[in-house]
Homo-oligomer: A and B are copies of this chain.
Amino acid sequence: MREVAILGIGQVPVDEHWDKRLVELAGDASFAALEDAGIKRVEALYVGNMMAGQLDKQTHLGALISDWIGFRGIEAMTVEAACGSGALALRTAMMAVSSGLVSSALAVGVEKMTDTSPAETTAALATAASADWEGVHGVTFVGLNALIMRRYMHEYGWKHEDFAPFSINSHANGALNPFARFQSPITKEVYLNAPMIADPINLMDASPIGDGAAAAVVVPLDLVKGTNQKPLVKIAGSSVATDSLAVHDRHDPLWLSAAEKSAQDAYRQAGITPDEVDFFEIHDAFSIMAALSLEACGFAERGQGPKLALEGEITRNGRIPIATLGGLKARGHPVGATGMYQIVEAVRQLRGEAGPAQIDGARIGLTQNIGGSGATIISHILKAG
């Protein structure tokens, strides 16, 4: 297997981009990634997107975007696993390049969620859950996560306020990221007094939707080693794992088995243990998901994710910094784009380009993108140099 590297990255700010179409957002992120990589062309485009068919009345994004960015004719396709679609774009680019079938690829995650009504967007998001067991009852995504969080609090004895550090940390980091949707720190009082959405999840437990796009150029490592001006970032581990779509049908609804499996696979491929991970771009769609991910990936004991957060270990100077540029909570969660934002942010850290949000001496980063409430989980280990 040919090893692959990320040669360039690009992103647009997560926002309500009412003046830009989906293809323009994808294009702007792609142009930035190509310029950053210093190359003029790629052989293939893999697009992570979940909802354009439903919200933009536009499927077939691969051909659309490759034409828009001036690469009419190249291989192109969309990949999808709900909110995990973004990281699948990188995974597919890696498979294409490491197989030798393609010599360079662009992975783009893109989503446009704010041109439609909240009801339409919420209904489209709900298609990530089981239509037969969950969607049919009208349960929303925040509703499903609320059920999980309530059970978790009951099972392990945590109070709602114990989750405050997740939100506070993400907002503190997002304040240092010019691409984040929310660039303002929050206090514990703001967290505690936020309006309730689906008890026990309040507004500060939930990530905001948004429009956004993020991209990366993927090439064979051996072709670019020693030639690039910027520090090279290698994809040292990549794994996708799944679980039951319907939450009730899992062996344990409080354990993200697909997070555990994909993280363990990625660690093994990279030849590392969790102790060696310098930072973790986590899928904190809801604060409960951050806690569960930390546990499944080996950073906290079962049921003890909030303890790690309460002890300050998830902040920039802690044992395992998470959401270092704002995470889903503050950078925002344009669903099909989120996984690629995580990749872009990890590369910024590994290159030492994260500015005031920089993790000192970051050499190894874990990114983890979650589809549904844990049914598809994609883990990547990126290494500097």
Contact = CB atoms under 8 A, between A and B. Distances in A.
Interface of A: 1-2, 21, 44, 50-51, 53-54, 56-60, 62-64, 66-67, 72-82, 88, 91-92, 94-96, 98-102, 123-124, 126-132, 135, 238-245, 249, 257-258, 261, 371-372, 375-376
Contacts of A98: 99-101
28 contacts: A51-B53, A51-B59, A53-B54, A53-B124, A57-B123, A57-B131, A58-B127, A58-B130, A58-B131, A59-B80, A60-B81, A60-B128, A62-B376, A63-B372, A66-B242, A67-B242, A72-B242, A74-B242, A76-B240, A76-B376, A77-B81, A77-B91, A77-B92, A80-B80, A95-B96, A95-B101, A95-B102, A101-B238
B60 A375 contact: yes
Contacts of A78: 79-81
Contacts of A372: 60, 63
Contact of A371 (B63, B75, B129, B375): B63
A127 B88 contact: no
Nearest to A135: B57
Given A53-B54, A240-B77, A101 B1 contact: yes
Contacts of A73: 241-243, 257-258, 261
Residue with the highest number of chain B CB atoms closer than 10 Å, among A79, A82, A123, A245: A245
A226 B258 CA distance: 36
A68 to B, nearest CB: 9
Contact of A242 (B75, B82, B94): B75
A376 B88 CA distance: 20
Contacts of A244: 63, 67, 72
A313 B74 CA distance: 32
Contacts of A44: 240
A141 B296 CA distance: 47
A72 B123 CA distance: 26
A50 to B, nearest CB: 6
A246 to B, nearest CB: 9
A2 B96 CA distance: 12
Contacts of A129: 60
A105 B222 CA distance: 27
Contacts of A72: 242-244
A124 B59 CA distance: 9
Nearest to A56: B131
A236 to B, nearest CB: 13
A123 B53 CA distance: 11
B81 A80 contact: no
Contacts of A99: 1-2, 94-96, 98-100
Nearest to A377: B63
Given A74-B242, A261-B73, A127 B376 contact: no
A128 B53 CA distance: 9
**Residue of A21, A124, A258, A375 with most partner-chain B CB within 10 A:** A375
Contacts of A245: 60, 63-64, 67
Contacts of A131: 56-58
A242 B376 contact: no
B58 A135 contact: yes
A243 B68 CA distance: 11
Contacts of A91: 77
A75 B84 CA distance: 12
B63 A81 contact: yes
Nearest to A261: B73
Nearest to A44: B240
A375 B63 CA distance: 6
A288 B81 CA distance: 35
